[in-house]
Structure 1
Amino acid sequence: MGISRISSGGLVLATLAVVYALNVVGGDPRFENTFGYFTNLTSLFASLVILTAGIATLRGRPSGRPLAIARAAAASCLVIVGLVYNLLVPGTGTAPPWASVILHLVFPVLALLDWLLVTDRPRLAWREIWWVLPYPIVWLAATLIRGVTEGWVPYGFLLPSRGTTAILWTSTGLLAALLAAAALVWAGQRTSRAGLDSMGD
């Protein structure tokens, strides 16, 4: 499992590197533009989490509570990445088709299966579900600030020209959807031993 995690994390990092390189060649060398997209930034975050979990597995160490929370948050965000892209905006974006498949389908599925089926972690309490929110809230705030100050946003529904009310409703809807995805992640967690429940307390 450790090798599988490291391999999947490495594959995603390599994919993101190619996407960034293609953007540079295409005339957009700004790192913050490539990783201003929620898909790319979330994939970067999740791949680092998966790599960390893989290294811990190879060392014979189950995930402690902080890493388990990071895995749950990453899985929740990737569920949103996969659902929004594949159900609402399939085929859009500037990434090559093969990269889009990896980032919007393969990696979200692998991360979710890793969370649901691999039990080397403590069970998370429902009160800890709120830990999924800080990262997307910071991303959203930074994106909106860039939209106002630079006129650049990764998605049209965040354009300042839509008005404060529309953006507020959209942002609230996105965060609510994320919490719904997190609820599924929390509900689906399994542990192989009751002793894992208290790990990291």
Structure 2
Amino acid sequence: MTQPYRPLALFAALLGGFGLALQLWFSIRMTEANGGTVLAGVWLFLGFYTILSNLLVVGVLSAAATGSRGPLGIFLTRPSVQTAAAMSIVIVSAIYNVMLRQLWSPSGWLLVADVIVHDAMPLLYLVYWWLAVPKGALRWSQALVWQSYPAGYFLYVLLRGAANGWYPYPFLDVRALGYLQVLLDAIGVLAAFIVVALLLVALGRWQARRRAPAVADIA
């Protein structure tokens, strides 16, 4: 990432971290109100794809903002990883706004946290991705490799649900829908992931081609 975009990465990382901290606080508070423990609240917090994807995005932005050159920082700032994070956060926003927003009505600081993780961070991260991430090396095949993350999450949800009967999203609720319908729902969502991934690769490669003549002219 070029130096001019580090303030953007830092701002977005701080905002995302604040939103996640609020979400964690509410998760613990609501769990305790229902007779659970702090650990149970943290475990609930880590059950949502929204949270895991925002954690990934904040990690990417933090590594970019600090110029981290450790193994984790190098991994998180790979263009392919940063684009996979863009794919995930776009799907987070799309599914929430199309399928889930109408299911509840948060208010106060809970609404603030909700807007940060579902609306503000996807938009900010896409702006960062467009401006700061080099995309010339993106390959079409990577769009399929990136699906290991949502596929892994799907397995994680099924294992958690089998253990305690809790599912984070209505379309993944095996108790209400059965395994066949949940599998069909997951395939539909995976198709959306693939479409978004391919679109990001296409946009990235197009941007890289447009920038190449400009760089050559300057040189």
Is the pair's TM-score, using the shorter chain for normalization, greater than 0.5? yes
- Which residue is equivalent to 2:197? 182
Give the Cα–Cα distance (whole angstroms) in 2 for the partners of residues 33 and 114 of structure 1: 29
The Cα offsets for residues 112-141 of structure 1, whole Å up to 9 and x where unpaired, read as: 122223354543011221232111111110
The Cα offsets for residues 38-65 of structure 1, whole Å up to 9 and x where unpaired, read as: 11111011110121122239xxxxx889
Query: Which is greater in Rg?
Result: 2
- Which residue is equivalent to 1:199? none
1:74 aligns with 2:85: yes
Q: Determine which structure has greater relative contact order: mean sequence separation of CA pairs < 8 Å that are 6+ residues apart, divided by chain length.
A: 1
What secondary structure sits across from 1:140 in the alignment?
A: helix
**More helix as a share of residues:** 2
Give the Cα–Cα distance (whole angstroms) in 2 for the partners of residues 118 and 52 of structure 1: 13
What secondary structure sits across from 1:163 in the alignment?
A: helix
The Cα offsets for residues 48-86 of structure 1, whole Å up to 9 and x where unpaired, read as: 0121122239xxxxx889611111111001111111111
Taking a change above 3 Å as real, the CA distance of residues 53 and 131 of structure 1, as seen in their structure-2 partners, is: farther
- Which residue is equivalent to 1:170? 185
Shift in Å, 1:22: 1.8
Stretch moving more, 88-97 or 157-166: 88-97
CA RMSD, aligned part only? 2.5
Give the Cα–Cα distance (whole angstroms) in 2 for the partners of residues 85 and 65 of structure 1: 25
Stretch moving more, 46-55 or 86-95: 86-95
- Which residue is equivalent to 1:24? 28
Matches within 5 A, 1:45-64: 45-56=56-67
1:38 aligns with 2:53: no
Structure 1 unaligned regions, length at least 5:
58-62, 197-201
What secondary structure sits across from 1:152 in the alignment?
A: coil
The Cα offsets for residues 89-134 of structure 1, whole Å up to 9 and x where unpaired, read as: 2254568111111111111011112222335454301122123211
- Which residue is equivalent to 1:106? 120
Give the Cα–Cα distance (whole angstroms) in 2 for the partners of residues 86 and 45 of structure 1: 20
Give the Cα–Cα distance (whole angstroms) in 1 for the partners of residues 77 and 143 of structure 2: 12
Stretch moving more, 109-118 or 32-41: 109-118
Shift in Å, 1:15: 1.4
Q: 1:164 is aligned with what amino acid?
A: Y
Structure 2 unaligned regions, length at least 5:
69-73
- Which residue is equivalent to 2:71? none
Give the Cα–Cα distance (whole angstroms) in 1 for the partners of residues 58 and 90 of structure 2: 14
Percent of aligned pairs sharing the same letter: 25
- Which residue is equivalent to 2:174? 160
Give the Cα–Cα distance (whole angstroms) in 1 for the partners of residues 78 and 145 of structure 2: 12
- Given that residues 64 and 122 in structure 1 are in contact (C-alpha distance below 8 angstroms), is that contact kept between their aligned partners in structure 2? no
Stretch moving more, 74-83 or 85-94: 85-94
Number of equivalent positions: 191
What secondary structure sits across from 1:41 in the alignment?
A: helix
